[in-house]
Amino acid sequence: MKIAILKLRDILLTSIHVDLTDEDALEFQADVLEMVKKTEAKGIVIDITAMNVVDSFMARILNETASMVKTLGAEAVICGMRPEVALTLVEMGRELTGVETAVNLEQGVDKLRELIKGRQ
């Protein structure tokens, strides 16, 4: 299952809208990094509004992807997490630590813009 990654001027937008297998998640991670590099984007917003399960594997993938994007020299914001997903992650002891998050896409883009400004 391919997740589309859209370019909008100097940033990228993507929304995980299907239930990913572990392989899909790893492919998504590789695609994000490749797109950031190829488009020379300054940052990416990853929307997870549609995800009703984020288990320890997916949490790790999201954490790592954000770190990898930063390592490449861009910024990453994860937005739209459902309340029940946040609750489950914290109960499991699997918070998304060190990852920039926002409540929804709109605030996600605003936050990304601020992060990009802060870097320049």
Partner 1 sequence: MNEKAVKIEDSRDVVRARHEGREMARKLGFGPADQARLATAISELTRNVIQYAGKGVCVITDASEMGIAKIRVRVEDHGPGIADIDQAIEPGFSTGNGLGAGLPGTRRLVHEFRIDSKPGHTVVSIGIVRRRA
Q: Which chain residues interact with partner 1 by CB under 8 A?
A: 19-23, 52-57, 59-60, 82-85, 87-88, 91-94
* Burial class of residue 63 in the structure, from the number of CB atoms within 10 Å of its CB (0-12 exposed, 13-18 middle, 19+ buried): middle
CB of 7 to partner 1, least distance (A): 29
Quick one: how far is CA 111 from the chain centroid?
13
Question: Of the two residues 86 and 116, which places its CB atom closer to partner 1 in the complex?
Answer: 86
Give the 3-state secondary structure of residue 44.
Answer: strand
CB of 114 to partner 1, least distance (A): 30
* Burial class of residue 108 in the structure, from the number of CB atoms within 10 Å of its CB (0-12 exposed, 13-18 middle, 19+ buried): buried
Question: Of the two residues 62 and 74, which places its CB atom closer to partner 1 in the complex?
Answer: 62
CB of 94 to partner 1, least distance (A): 5
